[in-house]
Amino acid sequence: MKWATRPGCHIDRAACAWLIRRFIDPQAEFLFVADASEVPPDTTAFDMRGVELSHHRGDCSFETFLRRYELDDPILWRIAEGVHEADLEDERYDAPEAAGLDMVLRGLSLVRSDHELIELAQPLFDGLYEYHRQAAPIDRKRS
Amino acid sequence: MLGVADQWVLLTYRLPREPSTPRIALWRKLRRLGALQLIDGLVALPLDARNREQLEWLADDVLEADGEATVWIAQPGSAAERSSLQRRMSAAAAAEYSELIALAKAAGALESQARRRELVKLRRELHRVRRRDYFPPPEREHAEQALAALAVTLDEEAVAR
């Protein structure tokens, strides 16, 4: 499947791309368009104004993805807290890693293209997932 | 973060009077961003990619709450108007820094554990204020110095022990 979002990726779009590849569509192809009207047919848009997979009722797009695709893995929701705070900084969650994530992603976006950023985000979020998985209390762990 | 002084991103909005939750949520988010309230239902921020995106998401929040909202990119009509906007934003940040300075001074009288907790709290608040400080007033540096001075008192006690 093809997926489209805005260029100039930051934390929310990078995290969504990782989520799509890892949990929704392993063969996902990404393209970048400036406006929702430029999204080609047969392509799913995300993190753009006026599309379904975007910000809704205070959620960032990553959280919207988790809800729409019913991904109820608590580790994904723990990652969502960091993504939400790095993106929106509204203190809905206590996620001290957000400031660091924001800085790392912002820095990467200065030296890499959007396509490269999305590739780099894969090991980054894989690692974050594994970190939270190992840090999670035993009863929340999945094998 | 320094904004581009000539260009501003504006949000015009109108929300239904009830329910009040979306209205309060919007007000909180605008305050966190440091948006300048020009008149009722019109706020401004210096234009950069982040501010523009944040106001676009807020506009969508307003629309989802059955309100009306439009995002604009605009330039003040004159240099005087521009510097008036900058002065107002700068003054708002200065007031926040002054409050931090007063709190840091008051914290100096606390015993060391409470002082350490207060320092952590004030550093977090300083970080928040710095993020929405687009035209830094001199008080910014004074607040940073006041917190650094508070931290030094804790270091000195640790060394003396």
Q: How confident is the model at residue B2 (pLDDT cuts 50, 70, 90)?
A: very low
In chain A, which residue's Cα lies nearest the Cα of B32?
A90
What are φ and ψ of residue A42, in 5° steps?
A: 60, 20
Helix (H) or strand (E) holding B74: strand B68-74
CA–CA separation, B161 and B88 (whole Å)? 47
Pairing of strands A2-5, A29-32: parallel
In chain A, which residue's Cα lies nearest the Cα of B124?
A96
Helix (H) or strand (E) holding B69: strand B68-74
Planar angle of CA A80, B30, B101, nearest 5 degrees: 100
Q: How confident is the model at residue B5 (pLDDT cuts 50, 70, 90)?
A: low
- Tell me the pTM: 0.81
CA–CA separation, B120 and B133 (whole Å)? 20
CA–CA separation, A39 and A53 (whole Å)? 13
pLDDT, tens only, B7-63: 999 999 999 999 999 999 999 999 999 999 999 999 999 998 789 889 999 999 999
| Residue B156, pLDDT score | 81
Across chain A, what does the average pLDDT equal?
Answer: 92
pLDDT, tens only, A7-26: 989 999 999 999 999 999 99
Q: How confident is the model at residue A139 (pLDDT cuts 50, 70, 90)?
A: low
Across chain B, what does the average pLDDT equal?
Answer: 92
What's the one-letter identity of residue B92?
A: A
Interchain CB contact of A55 with B (< 8 Å)? yes
Helices A74-88 and A114-135 cross at an angle (nearest 10°) of: 130
Asked whether residue A140 carries a pLDDT value surpassing 80, the answer given is no
Convert A82-101 into a string of H (helix), E (strand) and C (coil). HHHHHHHCCCCCCCCHHHHH
* Residue of B31, B52, B57 to mutate, interface with A, max A Cβ within 10 Å: B57
| Residue B72, pLDDT score | 97
| Residue B1, pLDDT score | 41
